[in-house]
A = this chain, B = another copy of it.
Amino acid sequence: MANKKMTIIASKGTLDMAYPPLLLATTAAAMDIDVTIFFTFYGLQIIRKDNAEKLKVSPLGNPAMPMPMPMPMPAAAGLPALDELATSMMKEMFKKHSVATVGELLALAQESGVKFVACQMTMDVMGIKQEDIISGVEFGGAATWMDVAADSQVNLLV
């Protein structure tokens, strides 16, 4: 019997939201499910060369973030300082609990046969070239995703 199939559209490029597509994909691949991740919009940041370990997370706009922020924040420090702090804390939390980094999960996903497709249209708009993307990635458009999705049992957009 043919394997079950899953597609995930990865449209976010923050440190926190890079995890769900990669964790779900690697888990599914280990269960012999054929997985395709379609990286588009901000999600392209995940597969830019040398960028996986540089993704950041921001506490702004997300009061559900379970990290103690120094508030009221020092106005002088500014917003980028808040993002740096939240990013360091989140990476520390993952490391402490032996959760793989985004770069490690990317490698594991590719080793496990997860297919990566990068959205050419978004790349053009954002000025990202094919040589800026990690190796092993195919390039396509929404129709490429749609073809696979229509025959998949599970489709998600992150």
Contact = CB atoms under 8 A, between A and B. Distances in A.
A66 B157 contact: no
A64 B45 contact: yes
B93 A125 contact: yes
Interface in A91-113: 93-94, 97, 99
A130 interface: no
Interface residues of A, number: 67
B24 A41 contact: no
Contacts of A55: 63-64
Given A31-B146, A121-B99, A9 B20 contact: yes
> Which 5 A-B pairs rank lowest in CB-CB distance, beginning with the nearest?
A13-B64, A61-B61, A56-B63, A27-B142, A72-B78
